Each structure stands twice: as structure tokens, then as C-alpha cells.
Amino acid sequence: MRTMIHVYGIPNCETVKKARAWLAAQGVDHTFHDFKKQGVPTERLDAWLAALGWEALLNRRGTTWRQLDDATRAGVTDAASARALMLAKPSVIRRPVVEWGNAVTAGFDPDDWQGRC
């Protein structure tokens, strides 16, 4: 029996759409947690930060990051400041975050995912 896969993100994000479509095409059952409707689960965020590090989880290439003022961007210097920003603006979290049982990834990489399914 496979471990349930949990996907976290924003449904209108193109990367999340591609990732979910890929999982469906592979016949992989998964749950989806919508950051916009359900918020960011703080206990999960803490686990992701511990597993991946704040630098890997923070999406500095996205629109939300680019729209932040310089002072806010400059203020993100460690896990605590990144965590606070991620809770306030979930769109700065690299998406999708996927829990594969005991492992977690951020972003969509079909080659890596193939080995996990």
C-alpha cells in the first residue's frame, strides 16, 4: 500500500497545475491543501523548514517576492523572518510543497517524482 501523498499550494499556480496533472496522469492518489482557502499549516511549515531549509522554501523568483518592498525583502535573513513572511504571504512559498510520506520536496521535478511514485 502506498503512502498518501499530500500536495500543498495554490490551485491557480501554473506549476501546481502541472504537478497535479502529472500525478493524475501517473494514477497517483493525493490530497491537495489550498494555501489560499485553508491557510498555511504552521506545524507543517515548521517541518518543511527543518527538512528543506528556508532558502529552498522561499520563492525569490515569483511575482509576490518581486512585489515586496525593498525593506521587507532585505528583512528576510533567517528561518524566523522567512517563516513570518511565509505565514503572512503564502505565495512566497515555493510550490508545490509535497509530502511523500517521510520526505518533502518543493517545486515540480518530474524526473525526481518518477522515482518517488
Task: Look at the pTM and tell me if it is higher than 0.85.
Answer: yes
pLDDT at 2: 63
Q: Which of 100, 79, 112, 82 is nearest to 8 (CA)?
A: 100
- Name the catalytic one among 7, 13, 16, 98: 13
What DSSP character marks residue 2? Answer: P
Domain count of the fold of the chain:
1
The C-alpha cell at 86 is 511565509
Phi, psi for residue 72 in degrees, rounded to 5: -65, -45
pLDDT at 76: 97
Q: Is 117 a catalytic residue?
A: no
Between CA 44 and CA 42 the distance in angstroms is 5
User: Contact at 8 Å (CB) between 21 and 42?
Assistant: no
CATH at 82:
3.40.30.10
Question: Residue 17 — left, alpha, or beta (φ > 0 → left; ψ -120 to 50 → alpha)?
Answer: alpha
The C-alpha cell at 90 is 503564502
pLDDT tens digits for range 28-53: 999 999 999 999 999 999 999 999 99
